[in-house]
Structure 1
């Protein structure tokens, strides 16, 4: 910026007062101030536009780098998948051609000890659970929802009547 001290500003003011005159000096000062403000705004706009362009260029470069990295990862995953598929298919074909039986393809019969263990766990859970037995019989499915007042009216013992206090 321009280095202007107080004495230089005073000298410019005195010269402007003599040259322009006291009648026109306030109007010229306002015009000079508005022109100076416009110039500052223009300079700030140019600076922000340049910085925006620089940031945009950096973002484009970053996007390009990320796309390259993503394509590299995609290629490596595709390569690994094709290798795994090839090895699986060769292993599968070798096993089938050798006549080996696959235990996963044969029907299996359940082991009686496993069935007993499952029954034991189920019965123990039924005894020690905090869920009431009537709710377990209902198996957790509500057929319809009724309000509290309707529930009280439905399950009220037969001999009781409602008494109102007046």
Structure 2
């Protein structure tokens, strides 16, 4: 790069003062400063864009490697599952007839029939909440919860203020 020391900057400043003049020098310096700032921001934006594109390429490579690893795992699991199914069927070939005939529940399941669904008894809470509000009010069922302090304040007898004469 260009090596600019203090002596070289002083020389450039002196030449600019002589060529441009003392009246226009501050305006030119401001213009040069803004242009240099814009150039630095542009270079920083370009660097950031290049870094983003490099990171994107790395992420794409990582995604591809993860997909291939997932495919390898999937294929190994599927081959392992087929091997397990083969060994399971070989191990249980002699057990099918003897195990099903020993228990009455297992023989029912061996026929392909399943136990029927039995509905549970009705829930008394469901039945109680199905009462209409007018019936609850008539029979005195509480419909709103109330704290103890609120209940005391509600049912406290009102004090009649009798003024002594």
TM-score, normalised via structure 2 length: 0.61
2-side partners of 1:27 and 1:19: how far apart? 14
1-side partners of 2:23 and 2:103: how far apart? 108
1:49-128 aligned within 5 A? 49-96=49-96, 99-102=97-100, 106-107=104-105
Counterpart of 1:41 in structure 2 is: 41
Counterpart of 1:163 in structure 2 is: 157
Q: Kindly state the Cα deviation for residue 65 of structure 1 after the two structures are TM-superposed.
A: 1.2
Residues 22/80 of structure 1: CA separation in 2 closer, same or farther (3 Å cut): same
2-side partners of 1:163 and 1:24: how far apart? 95
**Paired residues, number:** 126
Q: Which runs of 5+ in 2 are unaligned?
A: 107-122, 130-142, 161-165
Q: Alpha-carbon deviations, 1:87-129, whole Å to 9, x = none?
A: 2333444434xx4233775338xxxxxxxxxxxxxxxxxxxxx
Residues 105/146 of structure 1: CA separation in 2 closer, same or farther (3 Å cut): farther
Q: Give the alignment's Cα RMSD to 1 decimal.
A: 3.3
Higher relative contact order (CA 8 A, sep 6+): 1
TM-score, normalised via structure 1 length: 0.60
Residues 146/27 of structure 1: CA separation in 2 closer, same or farther (3 Å cut): closer
Q: Which runs of 5+ in 1 are unaligned?
A: 109-138, 154-160
